[in-house]
Structures are given as structure tokens and as C-alpha cells.
Structure 1
Amino acid sequence: MSALLEVRGVRKSYGDRVVLDDVSLDVAAHDVICLIGSSGSGKSTLLRCIDLLEDIDDGVIRFDGSEISDPRVDPREVRRQIGMVFQAYNLFPHLSVLDNCTLSPRRVHGLSKREAEDRARDLLATFGLSDHVDKHPDRLSGGQQQRVALVRALCTRPALLLLDEITAALDPELIGEVLTIVRQLAERGTTMVLATHEMSFAREVATSVCFLSEGRILEQGPPAEIFSNPREERTRQFLRRVLPS
């Protein structure tokens, strides 16, 4: 199967600090790629480069056969097909849940108000948020806000969904409800690349797991292989620290 997303030899630095070092990755349609590794290993930066929120210093990123890392490419056009959800939710505080979810479909994708609202209400209902459509974000729990952020990204029907540590800012009891939504998306065939510290979730849901260390993908493979029989000593050290004894 040809790759929907191709990352080839990507390098990214901030001054003298190398954050991504010769990173290559293929993502096919319906893949769920989990990026794991310590904080500062480059996971979030890789997602931000894919979404063109950061310029790369070297390498190529292709999406659906087109080189999107070319400086002449309009990032707004690329983001019409790529959705990204951040750990800090990034909901507009002055807008209701419904308005947060319909803003981009109307402004960017040209849907009518009725079309956008129908699509948003259907998704909000699917993820148990029908009772909150008229509320503002400050009236919601962290888990509810993160679910709204997921729905907002899905309202544009992206071909690729990027999730950046979306449970990191949540209390432990709220993590499960957000991961349940992501699990449902995976079961529906949504193509996703996500950075996560939730190892049991990565083991269960991912089609492939990438272990990053110091800006490099040191190891990649099926979850059973990465978690049960990793090749690299650094992967083994990381998993010993994060997995229960």
C-alpha cells in the first residue's frame, strides 16, 4: 500500500540544539502510528513539522503524493486535510462547543451553517457530548474539553489526524475517556500519528510503534515486537522505566 504520508531524512534544529536528526517515516491509510520516547526526544516536534507549524532544515515531507515541505506550499491548504489536536486543547474560550466545532468547516471548507452544525452535532452525539453543545469551554471538565478538541478536528474530515500527547494535561481518571474515543477512531479506520506516554494504549491500538531518542527513530515495528522483544538497548532501558514491573 502506498504511503499517505512520507517523511524522508527530516532534520530540525533550534540554534545549536538538534531536535530531529534524519527522521524517516511512512504512514499508510488507516495506520495508527504511536510515537513513544522520553520528553524531549522529538515526538511533538515531528508532529508539528508534519502539520507545517515548524519549518524543517533538511529532508522532505510528502502528503498524498505532494511535497508539502516545499516553502512555496500554502500551509493552510495542507491543513484542510490534516487535523491536529494538542495537549492544551486550544479551544476558543469565547465560543460555545458547537461554534468551536463549526468554525473551520464554515470558514475554511465552505460548508453552510446548517451543514456544519449537522456534522458537528452528529459527532458530538457520537462521543457523548450532546448535552454540552451550548456551553463554553470553561464549563467543561478537562476530559470533555479534550473530547471537544477531537470532535473539532474531525469536523473537517481530515485524511490524517495528528495527536500530540492529548492525555498529558489530564487527571488520571479522565485519561480513559479520551483514550476510548481514540480507540473508537482507530476501529473506524482513521489514519493517525500520535505521540503518547500511554504504553498500554500504544500496545493495544497501534499498527506500528516508533521509539524516538535524541531526535532519531531508533526502532520501529509492530507493538508486540517493540514491547516484547526490542532490538535496541536504549528501547529496553526506556521500557523498563515506564512499564509496570
Structure 2
Amino acid sequence: MTVTDRSTPDATRDATTGLLACRGLRKAYAGRTVLDGLDLDVAEHEVVALIGASGSGKSTLLRCLNLLDDIDDGTIHLDGEHITDPRIDPDLVRRRIGIVFQSYNLFPHLSVLDNITLAPRRVYRRGRTEAETQARELLDRVGLADHATSYPDRLSGGQQQRVAIVRALVNSPRLMLLDEVTSALDPELVGEVLNLVRELKSDGMTMVLATHEMGFAREVADRVCFLDGGRVIEQGPPSRVLGEPTQARTRQFLRRIIEAGRL
């Protein structure tokens, strides 16, 4: 997909390669450092899995990438554009970055179709017919065409999460961010969401996903990054990072995962 930049001055552009580039990201909450000089590069069509203990910075990183949280220091470039430049319109940036959280965040008083088309119609001023046509096409693709007029409380957790993913896809994002999208699901519903993520990967979608599903990270990710203390301390192919980690902290984390029966 070709993205036309209508919002930013040339000074915000950089020779950074790859789709996404983060340099020296720092973020603190109430004096507690969550991201501590984190660097990350993501190539177009690459799937990067973020693993690490709770509090290691995975969710905070995703929120900063989508400009939901301001960084305290560092830079983020998307397609070579410095999106953390204060002159950037964050709403225009978010059109190119879809994000899905572990909680579905669907509006209970709106139908599935209205949940999906709300932002395209209200924020991006698309016509109802155009927005609903695209939404129905995506719902059909994920096997939910018959639920377009249903309300969220009539759907299973897996169905609600698929609707949330469709809502993030409706603007044809350049980058998808997935934050523990299966953690709130019953075990028997996890598979249907993971199957959708596999389909997105096969379509070439660039994704950064935080997950505790190590088997899924091994299967779907091109690269696994282990975060600890707000930094990426080890990264590489899933087979190496999950099978033969080089860092002692990574080995310690994976031992605990194995002991919990999650690898």
C-alpha cells in the first residue's frame, strides 16, 4: 500500500531504513522507568514478537508506538518519518498504525458494524456506504459476516477479539500492534484469534505483538525480542532465542515459562 504523506514537513523525514525504527526510547511513570533507552527496528512484512515478564515494557512500548503515550526521550520513525516530532498530527499517524489490546474495548451499545465504522466515519469522514462496505468485506473474511448487526454481548470472547482486529484493519494500516490479544480468552477460543493472526502474516502484514504464547511466537514470528528492564536484551530467530538463548536473564525467564507449562 502506498502512503501519501499530507501532514509533515520535510524536516521530520530521516534516512532511517525499514518500516519502523526506534532509537533510545525512554518512558517513566511516577518516577518508575519503564522504557530505558530501548532500540528496535522492524522491516516491512516482518513479524516481531515481544516477550518478557510483566513490567518489562512490552505494553508500554506498543502504546508509545501508537502515540497513545508520549515518550520522554528518543525517536520513533515510521516509513522514515519522525512520528514523535511535536509537529506531527498523531491522528494522521494512527491511521497507519492499528492497535489491538487484550481487552476488546468494543462499545457495548453499538452493533459490530457500528463499532468498526465509527472511526472511519467520525474521525476520517468516510461516507457510511464506503465504510460499511469495507467493514462487511473484512467481517466476511474473518467468518463474522452474519454478526454485523449483533451487539458485543451476543458474541464469544474470540469473536469479540476478531471484531477488534477488524476494527484495527479497517484503515489498511502499515503496521499492526497486538498486545496480548489472547490473554483474556478461554483456552478453547485462543485458536480462532491466532488463526487470524496467521492469516495476516501470510498476507504480508507487518506486526509487532506482545505475547505470552511462546509456541505461537515460535510459529508466527520472524524475530523474537526479549525485553527486560525496559530494554531489548536479546533478539533473533525464534528457534534460537526460545531454544538456545545466549543471555542468562533470557534463560531464567524461559525456565520459568517451561515450569509453568507455557512453552
Q: Shorter-chain TM-score: which interval? A: over 0.9
1:89 to 104, 117, 123: 104
Equivalent pair of 1:80/1:108 in contact (CA under 8 Å): no
Deviation string 1:147-201 (CA, Å, 9 cap, x unpaired) is 0000111111101011111111111111111111111101110111010000000
Matched residue, 2:61 = 46
Equivalent residue in structure 2 for 1:6, among 17, 21, 35: 21
Gaps in structure 1 of 5+ consecutive residues: none
Counterpart pick for 2:170 among 145, 155, 163: 155
SS of equivalent to 1:3: coil
Measured in 1, the distance between the counterparts of 2:46 and 2:252 equals 27
Q: What SS does the corresponding residue of 1:23 show, helix, strand or coil? A: strand
User: What is the CA distance between 1:108 and its match in structure 2?
Assistant: 3.0
How much does 1:55 deviate?
Answer: 0.9
User: 1:41: Cα distance to partner?
Assistant: 0.6
1:132 paired residue number? 147
Q: Which amino acid aligns with 2:203?
A: R
CA-to-aligned-CA distance 1:47-104 (integer Å, 9 cap, x gap) = 0000111111111111111111122322111101111101111111111001111122
Partner of 1:64: 79
- Structure 2: distance between partners of 1:14 and 1:241: 27
Residue 229 (structure 1) aligns with: 244
Whole-angstrom distance in 1 between the partners of 2:31 and 2:126 = 45
Structure 2: segments with no counterpart, 5+ residues: 1-15
Letter of the 1:135 counterpart: S
Choose 100-109 or 86-95, whichever is displaced more.
100-109
User: How many correspondences in the alignment?
Assistant: 245
1:11 match: secondary structure: strand
Tell me the distance in 1 between the aligned counterparts of 2:227 and 2:75: 19
Q: Greater shift after overlay, 104-113 or 85-94?
A: 104-113
Percent of aligned pairs with the same amino acid: 64
Aligned counterpart for 1:171 among listed residues 186, 189, 192: 186
CA distance in 2, matches of 1:114, 1:85: 25
Q: 1:28 corresponds to which residue?
A: 43
* SS of match in other structure, 1:73: coil
Classify the secondary structure of the residue corresponding to 1:12. strand
Pairwise CA distance, 1:112 = 2.1
Pair 1:100-2:130 in alignment? no
Q: Which amino acid aligns with 1:240?
A: R
TM-score scaled by length of structure 1: 0.97
Distance 2:219 2:28 in 1: 33
Q: Where do 1:234-245 residues align within 5 Å?
A: 234-243=249-258, 244=261
Shift of the alpha carbon at 1:106? Answer: 2.2
Partners of 2:69 and 2:214 lie apart in 1 by 27
Distance 2:90 2:175 in 1: 15
- Tell me the C-alpha RMSD between the 2 structures: 1.3
Describe how 1:194-205 pairs up with structure 2 within 5 A.
Answer: 194-205=209-220
Give the AA of the match of 2:103.
Answer: A
The aligned amino acid for 1:173 is E
Check the 8 A contact 1:20/1:214 in 2, yes or no.
Answer: yes
Verify the 8 A CA contact 1:104 1:156 in the aligned structure 2. no
Indicate if the aligned counterparts of 2:49 and 2:221 stay in contact, CA closer than 8 A: yes
TM-score (norm 2): 0.90
Q: Distance in 1 between matches of 2:68 and 2:132?
A: 28
CA contact (8 A) 2:17 2:80 kept: no
User: Amino acid of the residue matched to residue 44 of structure 2?
Assistant: A
**For the residues of structure 2 that align with 1:77 and 1:214, how far apart are their CA atoms?**
31
Looking at structure 1, the residues matched to 123 and 19 of structure 2 have their Cα atoms a distance apart, in angstroms, of 22
Give the Cα–Cα distance (whole angstroms) in 2 for the partners of residues 172 and 242 of structure 1.
Answer: 17
Give the whole-Å Cα distance in 2 for the aligned partners of 1:63 and 1:174.
33
